[in-house]
Structure 1
Amino acid sequence: MRTVHAADLLRLTADDPPRAGLAVVVAGDRVEAIVPTDELPGAYPGMRVRRWAGTLGPALVHDGPLPPAPTPRERVHALFRLGVAAVVEEHVADPALRAAAARNDVAVLPGVRPPALVTGGRADLAVFGPDGACLATVVAGRLVHRRA
């Protein structure tokens, strides 16, 4: 299923200045396109559009121990509340934690890499509010966290 994620502002990388008027088209677990929002009705009629208040950009890579929680699943879900979609493998060495990450499509990376939104890349997105709090996290095209 294809979904459009549109926000007030969009960053293609963590260091990219935020830009208005862009949206991310997601097909399955991939970024299909990054398009001007004013082209959405004609180019993508009838597509589900998720509109977010805040700044949309690439989900984060977590380089450190996962947040403490009673179960591996809850530790992974704590990452989603931070806007994280990838972890460095040394921090998920425990088999139960590694399995929880895999079940939730969290990317396990050999080292830190700068996150970026690119056409054809994995659809790992996060929306952050003006206060820096994560409002929503999309991992491999699937909405896994939405702040209430």
Structure 2
Amino acid sequence: MQTLHAADLLIAVPGTAPVPGGAVVVDGDTVAALGPYEELTAAYPRARVRRWPGVLTPGLVQRRAAALLTRAYHPDPREHAELGERPLTGDRLAALEMDDTRWSGSVRRGLQQMLRHGTTAVAGAFDSLLLSTAVARSGLRVLPVATPGEPDLDPLRGVAALADAVASPLTVGGRADLAVFDVPDEAALLERGAGTCVATVLAGRLVHRRR
């Protein structure tokens, strides 16, 4: 079934002119069309329509994914009252009693948190069986070049332009990896960060939707 994702502003290729009232048609795991909402609804009248607030962009790449999964603990919701919701690193991580079961849960939750921040690709080497299996099951694309630094769930932290944070532009025939952020434009997105994500589509599948 084809799905038409529409937003207030479409930035299909960062660095080029955005499309006000733009939309993306997804067919399976592929981008079938890009352009103004009115044109695409006329061309694809049977497509299911999902309307989102804000800016629709290509999916982001998390270049510190390995650090987020191996040097940070992502608390279970049942631990939020005690540990909080943010990843624990450094001395706070060292104070926890970690075993394989606890690490496995943390990795799974860390990947889920990445999806909630518009991430559709991760960079780095995932050498352990635990990491490689979890990343493969998530469906996230794996890119080879990581960025050193402290773990941070926001792929936009410290970048100068959206083009520096996307895995690849949205193109007709390309993989349907996209994200939507509840902000008015790219400048606001860079200022407020990927925590504004309201939807993430991974290979055509809606894997995150803010309720």
TM-score normalised according to structure 2 size: 0.64
Q: Please name the residue that 1:51 is paired with.
A: 51
**What is the Cα deviation at residue 135 of structure 1?**
0.9
Question: Quick check: 1:18–1:55 contact (8 Å CA) kept in 2?
Answer: no
The structure number with the bigger radius of gyration is 2
**What is the Cα deviation at residue 17 of structure 1?**
4.4
Work out which of the residue numbers 86, 109, 112 in structure 2 matches 1:74: 109
Secondary structure of 2:134's partner? helix
1:125 aligns to 2:178 (yes or no)? yes
Aligned-residue CA RMSD (Å)? 1.9
Secondary structure of 1:71's partner? helix
The amino acid of 2:171's aligned partner reads: V
Gaps of 5+ in 2: 75-104, 147-165, 184-191
**What is the Cα deviation at residue 30 of structure 1?**
0.9
Q: Please name the residue that 1:87 is paired with.
A: 122
Q: Please name the residue that 1:31 is paired with.
A: 31
Please say which of residues 127-136 and 23-32 is displaced more in the overlay. 127-136
Q: Please name the residue that 2:169 is paired with.
A: 116
Q: Please name the residue that 1:10 is paired with.
A: 10
Gaps of 5+ in 1: none
Secondary structure of 1:121's partner? coil
Q: Please name the residue that 1:136 is paired with.
A: 199
Between Structure 1 and Structure 2, the one with more helix by share is 2
Please say which of residues 14-23 and 99-108 is displaced more in the overlay. 14-23
Secondary structure of 1:80's partner? helix
Once residues 134 and 33 of structure 1 are traced to their aligned partners in structure 2, the CA distance between those partners, rounded to angstroms, is 22
User: Deviations along 1:43-70, whole A, 9 cap, x unmatched?
Assistant: 1112101100010010101100236324
User: Deviations along 1:58-107, whole A, 9 cap, x unmatched?
Assistant: 010110023632432211111011100000132x3332222122112100
Q: Please name the residue that 2:136 is paired with.
A: 102
1:19 aligns to 2:19 (yes or no)? yes
Please say which of residues 120-129 and 104-113 is displaced more in the overlay. 104-113
Once residues 15 and 42 of structure 1 are traced to their aligned partners in structure 2, the CA distance between those partners, rounded to angstroms, is 28
User: Deviations along 1:2-45, whole A, 9 cap, x unmatched?
Assistant: 11110000001343443203210101111111132112332111
Question: Quick check: 2:121–2:141 contact (8 Å CA) kept in 1?
Answer: yes
Once residues 120 and 106 of structure 2 are traced to their aligned partners in structure 1, the CA distance between those partners, rounded to angstroms, is 18
Between Structure 1 and Structure 2, the one with more strand by share is 1
Question: Quick check: 2:59–2:167 contact (8 Å CA) kept in 1?
Answer: no
Once residues 39 and 32 of structure 2 are traced to their aligned partners in structure 1, the CA distance between those partners, rounded to angstroms, is 15
Once residues 143 and 10 of structure 1 are traced to their aligned partners in structure 2, the CA distance between those partners, rounded to angstroms, is 17
**What is the Cα deviation at residue 138 of structure 1?**
0.5
- What is the number of equivalent residue pairs in this alignment? 147
Identity among equivalent pairs (%): 48
